[in-house]
Chains A and B, each alone.
Chain A
Amino acid sequence: MLNLLFILGILCPLNLAEIEIRLLDPKIDGVLASRFPNSFLLGLPDCSVYGNKSAELLYTELPSNENKTKSFIVPSCSVTRLGLLLQNLKNGTTYNMQYKIAGSNDTSANLTMATTNVIDFQQIDSGLPARSGAMVVITVILSVAMAALLIGLIVVLFSS
């Protein structure tokens, strides 16, 4: 049985392998982030296999099921490749993404990711944070000194 599976595995052609689709990882790929409010930063298909071929990224906005396509050319291995920036998305929405090489049946798995939500900057509370020690010390000592001086001045005035 195992022998049969091995033979079948050898006979299977290699081009049924899937294209890898993933978001770039800040730790591995040295980017700041890959999920933004209005865009995604995706890793490109393998340049050694698909370099210089034209490809498409099919993406679907999940609640409304709108299909869109972004065409691009996979850069060859001689060029430094950064990633594919998919822009003009809506914040806080989930998208299904899939690569497809033009003119062949090579596709990638579906990647489901949600864009981040933004907080309105007006919501930041910019009121006075805690009072610092310096403020309290200066105010207390100066008020006490002011009172002492005033008393001293009155004493001197009325003793003359």
Chain B
Amino acid sequence: MGAGAVTCLMFVVVALNAIAAAAGLALFAVAIWVAVDGYKLYPISGVSGKDDIFAAAWIAIFTGFAFFLTCIFGIFAALKRSRALMLVYLIIMFIIFLFECASAITAATNRDYLVGNSNFVKKQMLQYYGQDSTQGKQITQTWNRVMEQVECCGADSPEDWMLYNSTLKQIYPTYNWPLSCCKRLSTFELQNPAGCKVGLTSTLFTKGCFNYIESVLSRYTWAVSWYGFSVLMLVVSLDVF
């Protein structure tokens, strides 16, 4: 009876370790996806120094891979039935748990700071768009790409450019909003330059870009933070056994 229960327990431990190893590897892959930044929105967080979402992704890369290796070591330790090895396994798991906790919490908090409301993104756009510094160039490039691909203008709407003063207005006083806000033909020429300058709503994009930016950064955060959280819960249940 005792031997049967121990075998059953060992089987459960090995199975859970295998699942946790696979989950750790998946966390590793997802964190690489976030760090690569396929949507190329890194400058929005990087320019103001608040790129903790990407820092959390880097930590998750290492913890994901470490989970994978440690779980394989755990399978080995369970099969060997060595108490010392199991203790080492538990201590290493705890340390990795701490790092992954830090990563998940950092990503969730930083996301709230960046895209909780549109103020941060709006202020950064007004300050850096069109500026001649390295940060200005990065922000200008990022915003131009977003405005042209997503067909939007400004953070909440083109009115942002009219309600507030901006670096762009100081450098080019005759333009009320950037040229990337104007609709273009498939040949990339402006559809109606005079109409766009004057504000004809059929010639420029009227929706704001904040929704898109918020959805991308949230997607990155949920990948690192919630997936990390679920892996951690799996590890906790594993350690209870």
Contact B112 A128 (CB under 8 A): yes
Bound form: Cα–Cα A130–B119 in Å: 13
Establish whether residues B94 and A149, one from each chain, have CB atoms under 8 Å apart when the complex forms.
yes
Q: Which of A39-81 contact B (CB under 8 A)?
A: 39, 41
Query: What size tier do the contact residues of chain B reach?
Result: 35 or more
**What's the least CB distance linking B161 to chain A, in Å?**
10
* Selected contact of A124 from candidates B109, B111, B123, B200, CB within 8 Å: B123
- Which of the residues A126, A139, A141 comes within 8 Å of B120, measured between beta carbons? A126
Residue of B nearest to A120 (CB): B165
* Structural contact, A145 and B116, CB atoms closer than 8 A: no
0 or 1 for each of B110-152: is its CB under 8 Å from A? (1 = yes): 0111001101101110110000000000000000000000000
- Of the candidates A82, A128, A142, A153, which one forms a contact with B104 in the assembled complex, judged by CB atoms under 8 Å apart? A142
Cβ A30 vs Cβ B200 within 8 A: yes
A32 within 8 A of B: yes
Whether A124 pairs with B164 at a CB distance below 8 angstroms is yes
Q: Is the CB of B119 within 8 A of A38?
A: no
Shortest Cβ gap from A137 to chain B (Å): 9
For chain B, what secondary structure do more than half of its interface residues adopt (helix, strand, loop), or is it mixed? helix
Cβ of B83 within 8 Å of any chain A Cβ, yes or no, is: yes
Least CB separation from B177: chain A residue:
A32
> Does A11 sit at the interface, judged by CB under 8 A?
no
The answer to whether A124 touches B163 (Cβ under 8 A) is no
Which residues in B have some Cβ–Cβ distance to A below 8 Å? 83, 87, 90-91, 94, 97-98, 101, 104-105, 108-109, 111-113, 116-117, 119-120, 122-124, 126-127, 158-159, 162-166, 173-174, 176, 194-195, 197-202, 204, 206, 225-226, 229, 232-233, 236, 239-240
Question: Interface residues, chain A, CB within 8 Å of chain B?
Answer: 26, 30-34, 36-39, 41, 82-83, 85, 87-88, 116, 118-122, 124-126, 128-132, 134-135, 138-139, 141-143, 145-146, 148-150, 152-153, 156-157, 160
Q: Which 7 residue pairs are nearest across A and B when measured between Cβ atoms?
A: A129-B116, A32-B199, A121-B126, A126-B120, A124-B123, A118-B165, A135-B108
